[in-house]
Amino acid sequence: MEEEKDNWDYEQTEPSEEEEQDPISYQITNYPADITLKGYLDKYNSDQLEIPKFQRNYIWDQVRASKLIESFLLGLPVPGVFLYKQKETNRLQVIDGQQRILTAVRFFENDFGDRHFRLKNVNKKWEGRKYEDLDEADRLKLDDSVLRATIVQQLNPKDDSSIYFIFERLNTGGVRLNPMEIRKCIYFSDFYLCLEEINKNPDWRSLIGLKSIDKRLRDTELILRILALKDGWKDYEKPMKKFLNTFLSDKKKAEEKKKSEEKIDPDLMEQYDGIKREFSAVSKYLSLSLGKKPFHLRKRLNYAAMDSIFVAGFLAYKKGIKDLKNRYDKLIQDNEFIQSVSKSTSDENVVKARMRKAVDYFVSNV
């Protein structure tokens, strides 16, 4: 089968994800825990075990799932899983092994999506049986079967930032997930859903020059980048990957804090609706003022031009600037600005230099 064409075309003006090193070192503890399959079920149903809303969700077919259950019934070894113990809640977050854990949960609950979970293509002793159909001895054996977990907890720094890098390094099979795909797994939240809604906006899509939403979430990452820099470019520190991780992580933590306090907070959702409305308005403003693909300075999408022009665009929109196209034309003729969007564009001084330039041209009397 012919591979699907990747239409994502951009200027490589900053280090790749592999080259962009995070200077932080972590102090992490990890220890084994022999958790029974029934133990996983109990933790799952009591919300002690969190399975992030992965983009793939549960993907095993019934035969593969049945083979796992058969392995436990036969007493065969099964690879362990990795769980991350969250500092504030002590809940366990699955970072590797969700298919194995969910298979056990589904078998206990006799749920395989649109049908009952009957074992398929296994030893004839168990063929076609549900959990409740097993002999008592087999049920007890399955209940007490151990799926060993490695439990990881970050001790220092005092946050949970290492979970991103742990997941990144465990993610070695198939097509390797990119940074935004990993963020979706780890930091999934209502705010993340807000980003996906924004990404559908037609004016935004015209600005970046892509009609179709990118399956690998790179356009969603651009929106995250704009919003993170809009709120914090003056305090930006590299690497960009960590800066974006922290911004999205903080949004998720704020949501979880509200939920843990059992507070109904309509203001939070109204805040997200406000972000969507503002982003939509600024996208339309930029699109009408600058036309299609204003961030393609040399025919390819330039991330640095995009983030600085968009952030400055928020201010220009609020001030009601009418001659934005004239200001934009002068900005992209400024040699210092062009230099700041051409090389080492994720360095602190470069990010701040281009932001200041764009803001000066867009909202001052040029």
Is 216 or 17 the better-scoring residue by pLDDT? 216
For residue 305, being part of any structural domain is answered with yes
What pairs with residue 28 in β-bridges? 154
Average pLDDT taken over every residue of the chain: 90
With cut-offs at 50, 70 and 90, classify the pLDDT of residue 4. Answer: very low
Q: What's the first-to-final CA gap in the chain, in angstroms?
A: 55
| 273 and 147 in a common domain | no
Q: How far is it, in rounded angstroms, from Cα 145 to Cα 139?
A: 10
The answer to whether residue 251 sits within a structural domain is yes
In a domain, residue 9? The reply is: no
**Residue 173 in domain:** no
Element (H, E) at 315: helix 303-319
pLDDT at site 240: 95
Cis omega (within 30 of 0) for bond into 157: yes
CB under 8 Å to 178, separation ≥6 — which residues?
A: 17, 216, 217, 218
Residue 14 lies in a domain: no
Of the residues 156, 179, 212, which one is the last residue of a structural domain? 156
pLDDT at 1 over 50: no
| Domain endpoint, select from 112, 134, 156 | 156
Per-residue model confidence as pLDDT tens digits over 218-269: 999 999 999 999 999 999 999 999 999 999 999 988 888 877 776 556 778 8
Please report whether residue 177 resides in a domain: no
Expressed as residue numbers, the domain containing 95 is: 27-156
Statement to judge: residues 144 and 32 lie in one domain: yes
Mean pLDDT of 335-346: 97
Together in a domain, 197 and 88: no
Mean pLDDT, residues 309-318: 98
Among the residue ranges 12-21, 38-47, 354-363, the one predicted with the least confidence is: 12-21
Cα 15 from Cα 120, distance rounded (Å):
49
Q: Are residues 214 and 309 in the same domain?
A: yes
Is residue 167 very low, low, confident or very high in pLDDT (cuts 50, 70, 90)? Answer: confident
Q: Residue 167 falls within a domain, yes or no?
A: no
Considering its fold, how many domains does the chain have in total? 2
**Side-chain half-sphere CA neighbours of 339 within 13 A:** 6
Beta-strand pair 146-156/27-36: antiparallel
Report the range of poorest mean pLDDT among 6-15, 163-172, 174-183, 260-269: 260-269
Specify whether 202 is located in the same domain as 349: yes
Going by the DSSP 8-state scheme, the letter that residue 207 receives in this structure is H
Per-residue pLDDT of 45-95, as tens digits, reads: 999 998 765 435 678 999 999 999 999 999 999 999 999 998 778 889 898
Write the pLDDT tens digit of every residue in 147-166.
999 999 988 887 777 877 78
Choose one of 102, 133, 156: the last residue of a domain: 156
- Considering the domain architecture, whether residues 236 and 342 belong to the same structural domain is answered as yes
Residue 334 is assigned to a structural domain of this protein: yes
Do 213 and 128 sit in the same domain of this protein? Answer: no
Asked which of 111-125, 165-179, 346-360 is least confident by mean pLDDT, the reply is 165-179
Question: Based on the domain organization, do 203 and 312 belong to the same domain?
Answer: yes
194 and 152 inside one domain: no
| Tokens encoding 249 | 């992580």
- Identify the pLDDT of residue 3: 40
User: 354 and 259 in one domain?
Assistant: yes
The predicted structure's pLDDT at residue 158: 75
| pLDDT greater at residue 19 or residue 314 | 314
